[in-house]
Amino acid sequence: MNGTYIPEGYKSLLDVRETQKAIKYVKDSFERVFSSAMGLERVSAPLFVDASSGLNDNLNGVERPVSFGVKNASDASMEIVHSLAKWKRQALRDYGFKPGEGLYTDMNAIRRDEDMDNLHSIYVDQWDWEKVITRAQRTKEYLEDTVKVICRALAATELAATAMFPALTPSINPSVAFISAFELEEMYPGLTPRQREDAAARRFGTIFIENIGCPLKSGQPHDGRAPDYDDWSLNGDIIVWNEVLGRAFEISSMGIRVDEASLKSQLEASGHTERASLPFHRDLLSGNMPLTIGGGLGQSRICMLILKKCHIGEVQSSFWDEETKSICEKNGVRLL
Q: Select which of 253, 266, 299, 316 is catalytic.
A: 253
Tell me if residue 237 is catalytic: yes
The domain spans of the chain are 16-330
Per-residue pLDDT band at 115 (split at 50, 70, 90): confident
Which of the residues 12, 29, 31, 57 is marked catalytic? 57
Residues 12, 83, 121, 126: which is the catalytic one?
A: 126
Catalytic option among 50, 250, 283, 334: 250
Contact 297, 126 (CB under 8 A): yes
Q: Is 198 a catalytic residue?
A: no
Contact between 294 and 131 (Cβ < 8 Å): yes
**Active-site residue, 111 included:** yes
Q: Which CATH class is domain 16-330?
A: alpha beta
> Which residue, among 59, 113, 52, 109, has the nearest Cα to 81 in the 3D structure?
109
194-217 pLDDT tens trace: 999 999 999 999 999 999 988 888
Assess whether 57 carries a catalytic annotation.
Answer: yes
Q: Which residue has the higher pLDDT, 86 or 42?
A: 42
pTM: 0.88
CB distance 122 to 110 below 8 Å: yes
Quickly state the pLDDT bin for 83 (edges 50, 70, 90).
confident
pLDDT over 90 (residue 224):
no
